[in-house]
Amino acid sequence: MPSQTRHIKAHEVAALPRGFTSTFDIKSVEFIDRAHNPFAENKIVCRGPKLYWQSCPKDFAREPLLIQSLLMHELCHVWQYETGRLSALVYLLFPSNWFYAYEVKSDASFDSYPIEKQADLLQDWFLVNSGEKPLRYDPHGPVPTLAWLNSVVPFNWEAR
């Protein structure tokens, strides 16, 4: 059976913060409902604007905030590809890119974090600005505050 593909819909984009979605070609994002490769079963893989996402939701705007925040995490990778911060080779060559759960650092900048931690930061930025608690930080350190997330994440929060 061939895999299903679809592009992100305008109302899905409208449900996300414009301060982020306006910084890259979000209309080019394509969801491919299959594994990227046999070793990536049940994993979401980003390759440029293509998101290989098995059982991808049909409408992210109708999904709970947790699923929408996962979309933000994956869209961060699309943005990273488009801005030259990420390629498959860069990801593989630098093992620091493979780890999640960012640390809250008072002197941090977004670009000082590796690839997955940037995506985790964006995911928590979305959750906390939406009134939820952060989930993706290192639990052995301080809890990120709204002010800290807004100072580190390089996008403006604009109400959805």
Separation CA 73–CA 146 (nearest Å): 17
- In this prediction, residue 151 carries a pLDDT of 97
What's 102's DSSP letter?
A: B
Can you give the pLDDT of all 160 residues of the chain as single tens digits? 567 999 999 999 999 999 999 999 999 999 999 888 777 678 899 999 999 999 999 999 999 999 999 999 999 999 999 999 999 899 999 999 999 999 999 999 999 999 999 999 999 999 999 999 999 999 999 999 999 999 999 999 976 6
- Per domain, the residue ranges of the chain are 5-152
- In this prediction, residue 1 carries a pLDDT of 52
Q: Hey, which residues does 5 pair with through a beta bridge?
A: 32
Question: What pTM does this model have?
Answer: 0.94
Contact 149/121 with Cβ under 8 angstroms? yes
**Pairing between strand 5-7 and 30-32?**
antiparallel
